[in-house]
Amino acid sequence: MKRGDMDIHPSTVNASLVQFDARVLDPQLNLERMRALAVAQAAAGAQLIVFPELSNTGYVEPLEPGAAFSEASGGAHDYALRLYQAAEPEGGPFTEMLCCVAREHGVHVVAGLALRHPVLSGAMYNASILVGPQGVLGVYHKIHRWHLEKLYFIAGDTISVQQTPFGRIGMQVCYDIRFPELTRALMLQGADIVTNVWASFRQQDKPLEDEQIFTHRAYTRAIENGVFFLSCNRAGRQGNCRFMGRSLIVAPDGKVLAESRTEEEEVIQAELDLSAVARYRSFVGLLTDRRPDVYARHGAAPPLGAS
C-alpha cells in the first residue's frame, strides 16, 4: 500500500453489531461463540463487526451496589481473582482469535474485553479493542467507570482515533456516552465512526421505562458531531437482571439505519455511506461554527484537539 492510500476511503462499509450474551466467567465458551459469530458475519458481507462490553468475562458482580452475586459468578469470595483470571492477558487468546478472523476474512472487529494490565499483576482495564487484517490497530481503556466497576478496573486516560481503509474509528465504552466531551474529542481527532459497546441492564422485575433510551443517546452524539454512531449492547440475563439489547446504528444526520427492538441475541446490519460525514458537517457547520474560545472563558475548557 502506497503512502496516502489510506486516505482514499471506500464510499461504503457494511457494519454488523452482534448483540451477544456473554457467559459469566466462561471465556473459552465466549471465545468460541464470538469466533463463530464473527465468521458468519464476515461470510454475510460484513466489513466491520462489533461485539459488546466485557464479551470475554460477562459483566462485573454484583451488578448493583448491595445486590447478591449470581450463582454463575461463584459468589463474593475471591470473585475479583476469578475475574482477573478470566480477563485477557496481553496478546491472549481473544486477541489472537480476533486477529486471525480479521486476517482470514479481510474484516475489522471491535470487541469489548476485560484486559489484564500488561505489567501489574491483578490489575485490569475495561477495554475496547480494534483489530484488522494487519493485527491490533488500537486499544481503548474505559475512562468513565460505572458504579462497582471502580472496584475492579483502572480508569483509562487516553483518547485516540484509529485509521482504517474505510475511515477513522474512535472507541468508547458504555457510560462514556454520558460525557459529551469524549465523543467531541474523538470527532476533533478525525473520527468518522464512533463505536460504543455496552453491558447495560435493568432489574428483571422492572420494565424499561423508556424504550428509546439508547436511541436518544446515540442520536444526540451522532448529530452533535456528524459521526456514524454504532451502539452495541449486550443481551441475555445475569443474576436478577436482564441486559437491555436495543443496539442501533445512527447516521451523522441522526437517521436510524438499523436497530434492535429486543433484549434477546440478535445481529443488526447497515451499510454506512462514509461520504455522509463530510456532507452533513459541511452543511451544518459544526466545525466552522464552534467557539471553544468562548466556552473556555465560561468554565468549559476546550476538549482535546480544539484550537
Q: Which candidate, 162, 128, 123, places its Cα nearest to that of 144? A: 128
| Residue 3 or 124, more confident | 124
Q: Which domains does the chain have, with CATH numbers?
A: 11-297 (3.60.110.10)
**pTM (2 d.p.):** 0.94
Is the backbone peptide bond immediately before 62 cis, with ω within 30 degrees of 0?
yes
- The pLDDT of 222-240, averaged and rounded, is 97
- High-pLDDT (> 90) share of the chain, %: 90
C-alpha cell at 164: 482504517
- High-pLDDT (> 70) share of the chain, %: 94
Predicted pLDDT of residue 302: 62
Residue 9: pLDDT band (50, 70, 90) is low
φ, ψ (nearest 5 deg) of residue 222: -65, -50
Q: Which candidate, 65, 303, 22, 89, places its Cα nearest to that of 181? A: 303
φ, ψ (nearest 5 deg) of residue 216: -55, -45
| Residue 305 or 230, more confident | 230
AA identity, residue 185 = A
Digit-coded pLDDT (tens) for 162-217:
999 999 999 999 999 999 999 999 999 999 999 999 999 999 988 888 989 999 99
- The pLDDT of 125-149, averaged and rounded, is 98
Mean pLDDT estimate for the chain:
94
For residue 27, give the DSSP letter: H
C-alpha cell at 279: 456532507
For residue 280, give the DSSP letter: H
Residue 3: pLDDT band (50, 70, 90) is very low
> Above 70 in pLDDT, residue 6?
no
Predicted pLDDT of residue 128: 98
C-alpha cell at 301: 475548557
C-alpha cell at 273: 455511506
Name every residue whose Cβ is closer than 8 Å to that of residue 295 and which is 6 or more positions away in sequence. 301, 302
CA distance 218 to 194: 10
